[in-house]
């Protein structure tokens, strides 16, 4: 099955949230879809992430997991990132159990990196790096723990994706205005027309 990892798929704003968003409609189990249920999508996501996350990572390459144990570890850290930040956005704070799971998985990931690997957080102006996708997502999430950035993480009310609101006054409502924002406007327009029609036939 072919799938286009286009700019919309990277509406999270940072790699950590993009990874969490590879599950669509998390808050609606009957509609939820895990893009990584097809493991062949991992390589495409890693390539696209290197392209769309240059603003965060510069000239970095992300190695996708290849073996079942590596794939499972990536999925585990994806879920830990999602739980940690989704709970925080909903007012639950950075809970100990969630933080512990996130840090333990991250520790296992970074231990698998080459001994001389530079694990500086993204955005530090480093040169080209070659990191596993899981390690890069973990380091991206570490930066989100800063209070000023954590307060800008939101949940899109349409697709339930996590995203980083970097607007000046924190007024961004949708992960992607051209997709979710327009869908919401179309739904409001439909409801208004239907209500108007129903009242006219009352």
1 lies in a domain? Answer: no
Integer Cα distance of 188 and 120 in angstroms = 45
Integer Cα distance of 109 and 102 in angstroms = 11
Domain range holding 51? 7-200
At residue 184, does pLDDT exceed 70? Answer: no
Residue range 140-162: average pLDDT?
Answer: 95
Integer Cα distance of 10 and 137 in angstroms = 13
Number of domains observed in the structure of the chain:
1
pLDDT digits (tens, 9 = 90+) for 40-69: 999 999 999 999 999 999 999 999 999 999
What percent of the chain is predicted at pLDDT more than 90?
A: 73
pTM: predicted TM-score of the whole model, two decimal places: 0.89
119 lies in a domain? Answer: yes
At residue 187, does pLDDT exceed 70? Answer: no
Name residues whose C-beta falls within 8 Å of residue 77's C-beta, 6 or more positions apart in sequence.
19, 102, 105, 106, 109, 134, 137, 138
CATH label of the domain that carries residue 20: 1.10.3300
At residue 77, does pLDDT exceed 50? Answer: yes
Enter the tokens of residue 34: 């895990």
Integer Cα distance of 14 and 123 in angstroms = 11
pLDDT for residue 189: 43
Residue position matching structure tokens 């996501």: 45
Integer Cα distance of 99 and 95 in angstroms = 6
Backbone angles phi, psi at 93, to 5 degrees: 70, -175
pLDDT for residue 2: 67
When the pLDDT of each residue in the chain is averaged and rounded to a whole number, the result is 89
pLDDT band at 183 (very low <50, low <70, confident <90, very high): low
2 lies in a domain? Answer: no
Q: Which residue has the higher pLDDT, 14 or 182?
A: 14
38 lies in a domain? Answer: yes
């Amino acid at each position: 099955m072919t799938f286009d990892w286009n700019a919309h798929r990277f509406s999270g704003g940072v790699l950590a949230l993009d990874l969490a968003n590879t599950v669509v409609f998390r808050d609606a189990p009957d509609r939820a879809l895990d893009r990584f249920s097809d493991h062949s999508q991992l390589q495409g996501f890693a390539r696209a992430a290197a392209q769309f996350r240059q603003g965060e990572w510069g000239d970095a390459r992300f190695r996708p997991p290849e073996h079942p144990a590596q794939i499972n570890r990536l999925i585990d850290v994806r879920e830990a990132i999602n739980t940690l930040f989704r709970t925080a956005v909903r007012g639950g704070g950075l809970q100990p159990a969630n933080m512990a799971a996130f840090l333990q998985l991250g520790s296992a990931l970074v231990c698998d990196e080459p001994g001389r690997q530079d694990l500086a957080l993204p955005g530090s102006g480093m040169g080209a790096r070659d990191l596993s996708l899981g390690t890069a997502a973990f380091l991206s999430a570490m930066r989100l723990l800063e209070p000023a950035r954590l307060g800008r993480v939101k949940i899109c009310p349409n697709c339930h994706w996590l995203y980083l609101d970097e607007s000046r006054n924190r007024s961004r409502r949708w992960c992607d205005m051209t997709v979710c924002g327009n869908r919401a406007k179309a739904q409001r327009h439909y409801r208004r027309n239907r209500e108007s029609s129903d009242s006219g036939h009352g």
